[in-house]
Amino acid sequence: MADKNALNNKMKVLTKLFSVGCNTEKQLQDLKIEDILSIPGITVPEMKEITELQKQVKNKTLFSYLGGVTDGNTESE
């Protein structure tokens, strides 16, 4: 199972994205740095998480990523 803290951080970022109206994969992919910087209360680690989410959506591995699986391994291994 994925590290609970890591999952909580991912969910926090998703909540911030949803709060600014970004709720589809296309909207996530279309986000530019200016858009990300305009999210209220965004932090540098959260910005990094957004770019990782964009990468995972592009690779069609978002569900695995949220579940803690990366490159065939779990984060807790």
Considering the entire predicted model, what is its pTM? Answer: 0.81
**Residue 52 belongs to a domain:** yes
pLDDT in tens, 12-21: 999 999 999 9
**Residue 31 belongs to a domain:** yes
Decide if pLDDT at 66 tops 90.
no
Domain that includes residue 50, residue range: 4-70
**Residue 75 belongs to a domain:** no
The three-class DSSP label of residue 26 is helix
The three-class DSSP label of residue 70 is strand
pLDDT in tens, 31-64: 999 999 999 999 999 999 999 999 999 999 988 9
Number of structural domains the chain divides into: 1
**Residue 77 belongs to a domain:** no
The three-class DSSP label of residue 69 is strand
**Residue 43 belongs to a domain:** yes
CB-based burial of residue 38 (10 Å sphere; 0-12 exposed, 13-18 middle, 19+ buried)?
Answer: exposed
pLDDT in tens, 23-33: 999 999 999 99
CA distance 74 to 77: 5
**Residue 76 belongs to a domain:** no
